[in-house]
Every structure is written in C-alpha cells, then in structure tokens.
Amino acid sequence: MHTIIYLLAYAGLFWGFFVLLVQALGTYKLFREYSSVPPEPVSPTLPKDEIPHVTIIRPAKGLEPALYECLASVFHQTYPRDKLTVHLCVESRRDPAYAVLCRLVDDFPDFDVRVFVEEEDPYLISNDAANNANNIGPNPKIRNMSRAFREAKGDILWPLDCNVWIARDVAGRMVDRLCGFRPGGRRATPYKFVHQLPLVVDTVTSMSRVDATGQTRLSSASVTGGSGSGSGSGAAGDVSVPSSVPSRAWAHGGGRLEEMFMATTHAKFYCAINLVGVAPCVVGKSNMFRRAHLDLATDAARNPVLASSSTAAALPRGIDHFASYMCEDHVIGDLLWRTPIPGFANHGLLYGDLAVQPIAGMSVRAYVARRVRWLRARKWTVLSATLVEHGVESLVCCFYLAFGLTTVPWAREALGVPATWTALASCWALGVALWMLLDRAVSGRLHAGLSIRVDGNTPSFARGASRGGAEKRPFGEWLLAWLGREVLALPIWTWAVFLGTGVNWRGRRFRVRSDMTVVAMDEDARDDMNGRGTPEVDGIRRSGKRD
C-alpha cells in the first residue's frame, strides 16, 4: 500500500512541477509580447505587385454584441484595400445579422465586399448528384462559408469569426508571419498556418442602460448569441438586469467566467504550447492559411496522411472537407500541421495582436454549456490532452503538488513539513493563493490593452483598462469571478468528458463521434431506426436540404 501511495505522490509531484513550468513559459511570453504595441507591418510597404492578395471570410449567425464594430474592423485595416477582398456569410436573409452585413456593404462602397447567403448557394441546394453536394457534412459554420471559400480571390484565406475585433495593423502582420516578410527585405521561414490569441471582454456593464423606471436593462441585440433587433429604448426584446447580486451573477455572470478563463488558464497554456511548438494548439477565431495548402492537405491522392483513411477519401476537397467535424478549426490546423509541405514551418502564433471578443449577458448556464461543447468537441480530437486537462486547473494541480510535497520523503525533509493532512491543506491553500496572484497579474496585463494601437475607430471594449476602456475589474469583483471559474472547472470537465457526447451549436443538436466526425442528432436517430447508419456515411452526410 505504501508503494502505491509513494508512486502517486511522485506522479503528483512530477505533474505539478511540469504544469508550473508550462505556466512559467506562457507567462513569460505573455508579458514579453503583450506589453507594447508590435512594430509596423512590412507587407503593406512592399511594391504593389509583391503584396499578396488576402480574402477575409467572416461567417455570421445572429446578433452578437458589437457585431457591427467587430465586422467593420477589417475595413479599417492599413493593408492596401485593393489587395483585400471581404466575404460576409450568413445562413439566410431572415437571420438578424443579414441587415448588419448589408449595412456594412453600403458603408464601405470602395471595398471589394460581398454577402453570401447559404440558402442561396447553388452548390448546396442543387439536386445534381455529380457536384457531390450531399457529401458536405452538417457543420453549420463550414456550410455557411463554403461558397465564400470557393469564390475567394488570391491564395491567402483568412477566416475570421464575426464576433471578434482586430486592430488596424493585424492584416499586415498576419501576412508578414505567414509569408516570412521581415524589415529590410529579409525573409524568414514562412508558415503554413498563422493565428491569434483570443481575448474575451464581458461588456455587460458598459452596454447596459437605465430606463425611465430606474431598471437596468440590456438590449437583446447586445446579449451574446441574441437575435433581437435592439431597435430602441424600451424595446420588447430588452433584457432586464436583476438588481440582487445572486440573481445578477446567475443571469449574467457567465460572461465574467468566460472572460476569466480566456485571460488566465487558456492564455497561459495557449502561449506556452505555441512557444514550444510540439503540437498544434489552435482556436478558430482568427486563422490565416493558403488555399493551395488546404487543397493539397485534403486531397487523399496527394496527401499521404489521408491515404489510409477511407472516410477522408470520401470527403470533398478544400474547406468542405471539414464540414464533417465539429472542431473544424483544430482539425484544419492539425491536418496542415501533419501534411508535409517542404519549405514551410507548421504554425505561427501572431504574438502581440489580440483577437478581442466582446460578450454580454451570458448566463452561468450558457457558460457551462459552452465549455461542455468545447470539451466534447475536443474529446476525440485531442483525447490525451482532454483527459489530463482537469489537472492543469489550480485546485486540482495544487492538490497533486501538495500531496507530493507532504508525502515524498526527500521533499518533506527539504521543506521541513510533516506528513499530515493539516500540512497538505496548508500547502494546497498557499499554492492556490500564489496561483491566484499570478492569474491576477496575467489577466491584468492582457486587459490593460498595452499591445493594442488605439485610434478613433477603436471601440471602448477593445481599448483596455489602461487606454480608456469601459470595463475595469476591482480586485474583489475579479476574485469572485476567479473563484467561481476554478470551482466549476472540475465538475464541467467531468460532465463533458464522461457524461455524454451531445452538443448544442448554432441552434442545433449534434453528436460527436469517436472518429471526430459529427452527425445531427435528429438524423442520427433516424438512421439508427432504419438500421443503416455507418461511420463513413453518417460522418459525411449533410443534415438535410433547405427550401
């Protein structure tokens, strides 16, 4: 029995120090790269015929907070406008986001910008079996962007979520990183894939208002995932903000939890993993890659990575290849990472530039559902990382470390601590407190906005606390959010990993399969009843044609 305990203690000690090392790398990189504005980009200053053309693709669904400002940020880029094409995508003209997209087209007439409506895509609604339309999987985001990718101009593609804002020089620096442009005409090794660190800002404070009766209200159009028009004061779609602290925390506290996660645990490990570069680590908020590389990677005849997969051979080429997967951002990055392309490095994180996502009115329930969806989508994509993910959270990791320090003989002797539960609890509490202080410093640095070049087009949520931003977090308020997120981390992980495979996404229900493909659950149930469901067929079958 003692042998087993000592083995567990050594394992806990090793894991704890390993996590601390990874955190140290990520924290170092964060403070180094996000403490000042990055240098001016090189690519916009190149001779006209040497500047690569970029197609920006922005899929929209519903009215997200500050949707117009987020989408408009690509029109304020310093990258030459004649080298930019903007494709805005929406599922149908009935989607509330459609009016916002049309407004952008009207407001920026000098840009090459088009709006693509999924329901009007002839490729998706065609009855001609020869075009393989039925082979496009159920992923609603990929289906939304399919035509925009097919009709993109140039080789460089930049899918950019509708709910993120970027600073004005980001396009140039993304191209610099992807193509290896350096000052003075120097060239670095180009990358296959470039991405940004996302940062969430909960704007429920700055976006709320007080009506004539003194009631604090939030426009439904400002609520994360909302679809109301938010057309005016006192609109029927307005959402009231509860006056009591517990009710307000439950109804709108999810945004603070999401903000906390993205600015602490996620940011530290995202930077550390990308710094070491031992495996792909990608979030699909802002990704840039080449069409030629995507076509090569998804062609089973040319890519040996796909040669052994019968499922992959049946999937379309290009972006449609990934419509069978829920976690399409990671799958795209992972496939490009594994595809051998001579002369190109794998992934490059664009340090210094943030993809800022404003959210508002997210409930705790919505936050939990979002984290569960994320974990379940990744469960089969990166199984080993998902299984140990609970161990990188403060409460669990500090317990492992405290158990090791108070159990392993040489550790106890070095620290002079007894092998008692009291000593273990004291070590655990001290570790959690130090962890909390580190998170406070990291989140404070990111939310200070020191790396963002502020101008007249910078919205308040993206200015940062040190640049006149509207959102500030007093320590007591911040601490409550930190404790809430840390306490919920293990239950959410347990529920997501062990207690189901279904996820809700973009208003639909999907089941994530062990081969990483997804199937709409209504269709999955119908196939099971008919006794004809197979992984190869279910993984690529589209969810049903739209009228």
**Catalytic residue IDs:** 329
Amino acid at 337: W
Give the residue from 500, 21, 17, 22 showing the smallest Cα distance to 281.
22
* Nearest-angstrom CA–CA distance, 366 and 373: 10
Identity of residue 378: R
Q: Distance of CA 345 to CAs 18, 253, 442, Å?
A: 26, 41, 29
Per the structure block, which two tokens stand in for 81? 């406008």
- Angle, alpha carbons 512-518-523 (nearest 5°): 110
Please enumerate, as own/partner, the contacts of 292-296 that have beta carbons within 8 Å and a separation of 24 or more. Answer: 292/155, 293/192, 293/336, 293/339, 293/341, 293/344, 294/157, 294/318, 294/319, 294/332, 294/336, 296/339, 296/341
Specify the DSSP class assigned to residue 299.
-
Contacts of 6 (CB under 8 A, 6+ apart): 407, 408
211 contact partners, CB below 8 Å, separation of at least 6: 217, 233, 234, 238
Residue with tokens 């404790």: 483
* 164-to-264, 440, 526 alpha-carbon distances in Å: 19, 23, 37
| Alpha helices, H only, 326-363 | 328-338
Burial class for 318, CB neighbours closer than 10 Å (0-12, 13-18, 19+) = middle
**How many Å apart are CA 428 and CA 423, to the nearest integer?**
8
**80-104 CB burial, b ≥16 within 10 A, e <16:** beebbbbbbbbbeeebbbbebbeeb
The radius of gyration of the chain's CA atoms, rounded to the nearest angstrom, is 24
DSSP assignment letter at 515: T
